[in-house]
Structure 1
Amino acid sequence: MRAKRLKVYGMDASYHCMTRTVNGEHLLGDREKEVLRKMIWQVADFCGVQVLTYCVMSNHFHVLVEVPEVTVVTDSELLRRYQVLYPKPTKYQEASIKVLEAELAAGGEEAEAVRRRLLARMGDVSEFMKTLKQRFTIWFNHSHKRFGPLWADRFKSVLVEGEGYPLKTMAAYIDLNPVRAGLVDDPKDYRFCGYAEAVIGREAAGYGLLRIWTDRIGSQQSVANALQAHRTLIFGKGGDPMQVKGQVMDRNQVSQVIEEQDGVLPRAAVLRCRIRYFTDGAILGSAEYVRGFVDSVQVERKRRHPPKVNPLRGAAWGDVTVLQSLRRRVFS
């Protein structure tokens, strides 16, 4: 589902966004990953969205963001965000900070036009991804003396219920990307993901993890507690997350048990599979939450029959459902 088309009104909305390089080429080395990591935080600050977690791989990246409901943004905050995105104005920019400040202070129709132009790029997941991908492409092409598109098509997005187990599960799935790729055994050892940043004490990443583990009706005491809870979700309560009833299974065996035998396995083991629910599921959340979008999706997609709310297979996911039925294999 296109994130741009599905609007959530009157509440914060969380989205899992993912995009790949052209032809899936492995173009991002450590230097490129570091630049993209920094840009994710920078562009999120400018757009006024909260990064909950992320993971940058060699040919794609994931980011889980919370987009707040529309609020008033003061002129001083607009200027601050502008400086975050353009700390060193160049002749190619539309306006330097001094010019922008003068235009806003002058008031009138020109000031309103400036505000509208800046606000149109804020508080929207599509604008966040557009700005991030464009800025990184410009840097990458300049650094590598290349031209043309870097990213394949538009990004994928899944709307995620902004609290409770759906959000926590999605965050764990994103942080486990380097483990599924065989790069590390523990995501804390992969420097280009939100969990690793939180482990080493980076404040913004810690706040994102705290937000994931703080339900609106409850409270999480500290980042340390959130880290511990997140780690338990990632690794389970046993020693080896891939050990099932005394037998260590590989990812292919886990996938086979689920797809061919309709089996149920520990969450920590299943999360080490590639799960299309989390990238192609359209909407992920409790049955009540997902059911609330059935009518709007039916109208948007011009479907004769309303889409069904489907429980996730493969593990004891709790009350986590998905809107997209996904006819092909879900686990791999």
Structure 2
Amino acid sequence: MRRKRLKIQKKTSYYHLMSRTVNGEDMFGNREREILRKMIWQVSEFSGVRIITYAVMKNHFHLLVEVPSDVRVSDDEIVRRYRRLYPAPTPWQPMRAEILEEHLHQNTLEGIALRKALTGRMHDISWLMKTLKQRFSLWFNKSRDRFGPVWSERFKSVLVEGDRWALKTVAAYIDLNAVRAGLVEDPKDYRFCGYGEAVGGGRLARSGLSLVDKDLAGYRQTLYGAGSGEKSEKHSITREEAVRVLTKEKGKLPLSVVLRCRVRYFTDGKILGSPEFVEARSQSDPEGNKVLPRRPYPMKGADWGNLSVGNGLRKKLFS
């Protein structure tokens, strides 16, 4: 049975979102990853959901996002976002931005309906992911003369506390995806992630990461441990050795080492933050669904800085 997605109403909230290709197949080369990267920025700008960081891989992608509490949008802003999403008329959205602008400013009956419909699609992670995946699937299938699904099941989401340490830890896990996959040794060399784009001068990527650290040098220390320029911890132990210590010996390792392993807390933990945050969010479900966690679970394997999750995840926690 699918769990009800956790949402916070009338308060700025943060989520780690992830979706994988059907059967986990490596379907995306450089061109496909670049198209998806551009679509992420395009769709997020319309929705008003801010991208903190992201990673586009060969068979999946991750987003860390901020959903604002103030969802009021002016007519001028609706038109600006509409132009971003629909720079030219399409078969499924033939209306030009100029026509929309006229309806909104004159407050016609059609304008009232359009305003309600368009703002109803904003500030919503479900709409963001649905639209992003649909748009990419249409482009991908057309470019390959292909039909059929591109993505497997529903996207995964983890509600993250707005605390800077919690956000920074999740962001680092996302930006280190290409390192874990063996595609690069340094995430700054991977152009399809927020950190790589920010180091390359990307304005939006830099702005997103500014939420987790005041500058990229400070954030790099989280990626690599003490010393932003050195990677000694990374080379001191292989990923295979790290997984053995974490799983067979139930030991602990430096955070920057553990972040180079796949850690299910970040994709299946349901809620991530301080014990107080996890407990409060667990008890706030209006339906009292029994599958929701009733207590926080401390994160194991490293010094996570008092972070907990809402799901114990006893099996295959590290890989």
TM-score category, normalised to shorter length: over 0.9
Partner letter of residue 240 of structure 1?
Answer: S
SS at match of 2:116: helix
Separation (CA, whole Å) in 2 of partners of 1:107 and 1:132: 30
5 Å-filtered alignment, 1:36-75, equals: 36-75=36-75
**Corresponding residue of 1:317:** 304
Out of 254, 257, 266, which is 2:254 matched to?
266
Provide, for residues 168-218 of structure 1, a one-character-per-residue CA deviation record: whole Å limited to 9, x for no partner. Answer: 0000000000000011110000110000111111111000110122xxxxx
Out of 219, 234, 251, which is 1:230 matched to?
219
Provide, for residues 124-176 of structure 1, a one-character-per-residue CA deviation record: whole Å limited to 9, x for no partner. Answer: 11111111111111111111111121100110011111222111000000000
Alpha-carbon contact 2:164-2:211 (below 8 Å) kept? no
SS at match of 2:71: coil
**Corresponding residue of 1:240:** 232
SS at match of 1:328: coil
Alpha-carbon contact 1:62-1:174 (below 8 Å) kept? yes
- For the structure 1 residues 306 and 203, does the alpha-carbon distance in structure 2 shift closer, same or farther, using more than 3 Å as the test? closer
Separation (CA, whole Å) in 1 of partners of 2:151 and 2:285: 27
Separation (CA, whole Å) in 2 of partners of 1:99 and 1:327: 55
* 1:252 has 2:240 as partner: yes
**TM-score, L = length of structure 2:** 0.94
Separation (CA, whole Å) in 1 of partners of 2:168 and 2:84: 29
**Corresponding residue of 1:8:** 8
Alpha-carbon contact 1:286-1:319 (below 8 Å) kept? yes
- For the structure 1 residues 97 and 3, does the alpha-carbon distance in structure 2 shift closer, same or farther, using more than 3 Å as the test? farther
Out of 301, 304, 308, which is 2:289 matched to?
301
SS at match of 2:54: strand
Alpha-carbon contact 2:16-2:160 (below 8 Å) kept? yes
More displaced, 199-208 or 288-297? 288-297
Query: Which runs of 5 or more residues in structure 1 are unaligned?
Result: 214-219, 221-225
Point out 4+ residue stretches in structure 1 off by more than 6 angstroms.
1-4
TM-fit CA distance, 1:22: 0.9
**Corresponding residue of 2:185:** 185
Separation (CA, whole Å) in 2 of partners of 1:297 and 1:307: 11
Alpha-carbon contact 1:307-1:324 (below 8 Å) kept? no
Count of aligned positions:
316
Partner letter of residue 19 of structure 2?
Answer: T
TM-fit CA distance, 1:300: 4.4
Alpha-carbon contact 2:297-2:308 (below 8 Å) kept? yes
Alpha-carbon contact 1:3-1:125 (below 8 Å) kept? no
Separation (CA, whole Å) in 2 of partners of 1:289 and 1:155: 23
* 1:282 has 2:270 as partner: yes
Partner letter of residue 173 of structure 2?
Answer: Y
More displaced, 233-242 or 2-11? 2-11
Separation (CA, whole Å) in 2 of partners of 1:209 and 1:83: 26
TM-fit CA distance, 1:296: 2.9
Alpha-carbon contact 1:48-1:122 (below 8 Å) kept? yes
**Corresponding residue of 1:95:** 95
Alpha-carbon contact 2:165-2:212 (below 8 Å) kept? no
SS at match of 2:283: helix
Separation (CA, whole Å) in 1 of partners of 2:135 and 2:91: 16
SS at match of 2:232: coil
* 1:326 has 2:285 as partner: no
